[in-house]
Structure 1
Amino acid sequence: MRNILFVHQSAEMYGSDKTLLVLVTEFKKKTINPIVVLPNDGPLKDALEKENITVIIAPVFKVSRKMFGVRNLISLPKQISQAIKILDQINKKDKIDLVYSNTLAVLIGLIYAQKRKIKHIWHVHEIIESPKLVVKFFKNALLSKANNTIIYNSEATKCFWNKDNEILNQKAVVVLNGLSKSEIELPELERAEIKETLLGAKNKETMIALVGRISRWKGQKLLLDAFHNLSKTHQNIRLLFVGSPPPNQEVFLETLIQQVADYDLIEKVTILPFQDDIAKIWEVIDIAVVPSTEPEPFGLVALEAMLASKPVIGANHGGLKEIIIDNETGFLVEPNNVEALVHSLEKLITDKTTRETMGQKAYQRAIAVFSLENYVSQIEQICLKQIADHPNPK
């Protein structure tokens, strides 16, 4: 049995959180014992423990602007010492064969691997365009000799970080995210009931949805603007937002609620917080939209929609370009362009046959290209090769 220490930035249940959960759950069934380090309690911790996966709460040193404040910089050595003591206890009990940092934002994995001479893999799920100081900091961290392999979740993410850098290119491998299909298929009566009771919608209304964190760049305002334009000529449509804002950033939700009211769309727009059982929600959605105003490193929510046989309209940048096939599984639209979004939405609103055909093609592509089995197998091979080539000296 090989012990891999996974270090992660949060205990929420969004993109990189979900990919970690499916990965370590599958690893647990094999010859790998995953041990997961999280910074706090939350839905991810609960889900991991439900799968009998060991979870340790410890400082992970998530890089943020706050981290560079004077007070935090002064306390940093003490926090690092505290985290290393916790990880040493794990290493003493279960010899750690490999440290796996799942997301670029956590540093304790690299620090610990370097200090204890254990091999380290960094799985990068982010494209960070600003501030430039942080971008430079991360690029230097990726170049660290202690960082043996870099897994990128898309070619877009790899190209962003590795551009014109041969050293990083030699360490890099792209593994596209994978998911398994939910087995939920609701009968028409239950689908209509969910639409009416949970979403306040009539069964015949075309449901347009954006599922994901409510934040500065996920495109909620852009989609609302497009929906406002469409609602003037299409009465039988409804808009759904599913997701919650990041901690201490509730202003994004408050602003969205106010914008809905300003457009006089309270009766046509539903906003739901994060949902544990998102599969049932996907069943009642007709059109999925991922209108991110900045490049998505991957775009896991687009893949979730495709596995639910939904056509996806996505912004034509970042990882979404590797997921959506334009005019086949959905549409790729110019980023930050309301008119382009309205045009593509109108095509799907007015043509149910096209919606269903694209949804079926989306499902077929998701199964063929983004299977969970392929995702897990690729990462397992990378991890086991690192362990075989560089055993823990403990």
Structure 2
Amino acid sequence: MHNILYIINVGYQGGVEKFTHSLIRQHLANDQYRPILLFFSDGPFYRKIAEDYEYVFLIPFKVRMANPLSWLRLFFHLIGFITKHKIVLAHIAMPWAKLLCLPALIVTRTPFVWFQHGPIGGVLDKLASLFPFERLILYNSTFTKDEYHQESLLPINSSKEKIVNPIIEIPQLHDDNKAMIRSKFLDNPEQRLLICAGRICSWKGYEIAIHALANLRLEDPDEWLNSKLIIIGSAGRESDREYEFTLHELVKKMALGDSIMFLPFSNDLPELLHASDIFIHCSRKPEPFGLVVGEAMLAQTLVIGSNQGGIQEILIDGETGFSFDSCADMDEAIESLCQKLRTAITLDNSERVSLARERVLNVYNSTKIASQIELYYLEITGKSLE
């Protein structure tokens, strides 16, 4: 069995970490490659996966882009780590990780795959594009690929580019839990439950949903007064916590405390999505994909989401849900969402929900995607899977 090094940037679980975790589980199930995980930082995701899996390691010192001495320490640490664990291929996400790890990978002659998960943009992506030593670039959507082509300072060899669909895990859902969850948050079963979920940061646009619900309550209180909105997610950085505070203040200012509540990220998210009537996704800038949109579809929940970015590959307006212009001027974005909410509640959406779930099951299947990636690994390393 050949060892694949997964270099993981942070200790908490975001979209790229969730994809990596799903891919690792499939490696273990296929029993062809042994994933070796090396984390840059501690955190709940690192600790959880370290409990479940043997080959999980943490770099024993802080690595900072602003500290060249830490680069040198990382260089020697990686050379020793790669040699000790007989790594045949490395998998890297994020441009800064590529830049920091590249010298050791070159010295040890370790081929590597760069997973461009996005979002794309900024100085680091441009710098990373100047060192095209990766054997393969994996993109999670056509949108991400197009964005990187615009940012790259050098022409990109199309023969080493592949689009790999994100892995969306199939949740275990129970209708008994659905009724229990609804009774926990709603006063009666006829009330409408709306959910927003994802990382708490300013470009996620949760204020659009808050304003939309406020406007609809004023416009048609009989229809919307009893609707509840739950915003699920956690803030990591200080700037994210400041944004979260502004959301709480906005809810207070608009006297929506009885209709909007906040919950931290939970492993029960699929069950919460399954119990809701509508999932709202309202990012203020185009996202590379939007994993939680697919998770909501698998949970058999109607999705109203952004019509920008990679989400368009899964959310087809009027077919697998409804889309609106979340990146427009704030007032326009709010009204655009209101229009879709007005439309959604007047229709029988069971066929849309069913079609959306079927599409996710067919296109974002973990077994298919992991097997395809393992074939790419085989092409790069030339190592037999026997």
Asked if TM exceeds 0.5, the reply is: yes
In the alignment, the residues of structure 2 paired with residue 267 and residue 89 of structure 1 have an alpha-carbon distance, to the nearest angstrom, of: 57
Equivalent residue number for residue 217 of structure 1: 203
Displacement of 1:10: 1.1
In the alignment, the residues of structure 1 paired with residue 75 and residue 334 of structure 2 have an alpha-carbon distance, to the nearest angstrom, of: 49
What secondary structure sits across from 1:294 in the alignment?
Answer: coil
Matches within 5 A, 1:173-252: 173-187=162-176, 190-197=177-184, 199=185, 202-232=188-218, 233=220, 234-249=224-239, 250-252=241-243
Equivalent residue number for residue 263 of structure 1: 254
Contact 2:306-2:323 at 8 Å conserved across structures: yes
Q: Aligned pair in 2 of structure 1 residues 202, 87: CA closer, same or farther (>3 Å)?
A: farther
Contact 1:201-1:238 at 8 Å conserved across structures: no
Q: Which AA in structure 2 matches 1:39?
A: F
In the alignment, the residues of structure 2 paired with residue 92 and residue 388 of structure 1 have an alpha-carbon distance, to the nearest angstrom, of: 19
Displacement of 1:200: 5.5
In the alignment, the residues of structure 1 paired with residue 248 and residue 114 of structure 2 have an alpha-carbon distance, to the nearest angstrom, of: 38
Displacement of 1:93: 2.4
Matches within 5 A, 1:6-155: 6-29=6-29, 30-58=31-59, 67=65, 72=66, 75-76=67-68, 78-107=69-98, 108-129=100-121, 131=122, 134=123, 137-155=124-142
What secondary structure sits across from 2:203 in the alignment?
Answer: coil
In the alignment, the residues of structure 2 paired with residue 103 and residue 38 of structure 1 have an alpha-carbon distance, to the nearest angstrom, of: 13
In the alignment, the residues of structure 2 paired with residue 4 and residue 285 of structure 1 have an alpha-carbon distance, to the nearest angstrom, of: 39
Q: Aligned pair in 2 of structure 1 residues 114, 329: CA closer, same or farther (>3 Å)?
A: same
Q: Which runs of 5+ in 2 are unaligned?
A: 328-332
In the alignment, the residues of structure 1 paired with residue 16 and residue 187 of structure 2 have an alpha-carbon distance, to the nearest angstrom, of: 31
Displacement of 1:385: 1.3
Contact 2:281-2:304 at 8 Å conserved across structures: yes
In the alignment, the residues of structure 1 paired with residue 310 and residue 289 of structure 2 have an alpha-carbon distance, to the nearest angstrom, of: 4
Q: Indicate the larger mover: 139-148 or 91-100.
A: 139-148
Displacement of 1:53: 4.3
Displacement of 1:33: 1.0
What secondary structure sits across from 2:382 in the alignment?
Answer: helix
Matching of residue 331 in structure 1 with residue 322 in structure 2:
yes
Equivalent residue number for residue 272 of structure 1: 263
Displacement of 1:201: 5.3
Displacement of 1:205: 1.6
Contact 1:210-1:220 at 8 Å conserved across structures: yes
What secondary structure sits across from 1:217 in the alignment?
Answer: helix
Displacement of 1:369: 1.3
Contact 1:2-1:33 at 8 Å conserved across structures: yes
Matches within 5 A, 1:285-300: 285-300=276-291
Percent of pairs with identical residues: 27
Q: Which AA in structure 2 matches 1:248?
A: E
Displacement of 1:236: 3.0
In the alignment, the residues of structure 1 paired with residue 288 and residue 70 of structure 2 have an alpha-carbon distance, to the nearest angstrom, of: 30
Contact 2:26-2:366 at 8 Å conserved across structures: no
Q: Which AA in structure 1 matches 2:195?
A: A
In the alignment, the residues of structure 2 paired with residue 124 and residue 223 of structure 1 have an alpha-carbon distance, to the nearest angstrom, of: 29
What secondary structure sits across from 2:45 in the alignment?
Answer: helix
In the alignment, the residues of structure 2 paired with residue 288 and residue 209 of structure 1 have an alpha-carbon distance, to the nearest angstrom, of: 5
Cα-Cα RMSD = 2.1
Deviations 1:67-113 (A, max 9, x none): 4xxxx2xx32x212222333233223221101110233423333321
Deviations 1:268-327 (A, max 9, x none): 001101112222212211111111110111110111011111121111111001111110
Candidates 358, 362, 367, aligned match of 2:361: 367
Contact 2:183-2:189 at 8 Å conserved across structures: yes
Matching of residue 347 in structure 1 with residue 347 in structure 2:
no
What secondary structure sits across from 2:189 in the alignment?
Answer: coil
In the alignment, the residues of structure 1 paired with residue 284 and residue 317 of structure 2 have an alpha-carbon distance, to the nearest angstrom, of: 18
Q: Aligned pair in 2 of structure 1 residues 201, 378: CA closer, same or farther (>3 Å)?
A: farther
Displacement of 1:389: 7.8
Aligned residues: 369
Q: Which AA in structure 2 matches 1:36?
A: L
Q: Aligned pair in 2 of structure 1 residues 111, 341: CA closer, same or farther (>3 Å)?
A: farther
* TM-score of the pair, normalised by structure 1: 0.88
Deviations 1:95-147 (A, max 9, x none): 11011102334233333212322111100111334x4xx1xx42341342422
Q: Which AA in structure 2 matches 1:49?
A: A
Q: Which runs of 5+ in 1 are unaligned?
A: none
Contact 1:7-1:60 at 8 Å conserved across structures: no
In the alignment, the residues of structure 2 paired with residue 202 and residue 82 of structure 1 have an alpha-carbon distance, to the nearest angstrom, of: 60
Candidates 367, 372, 386, aligned match of 1:378: 372
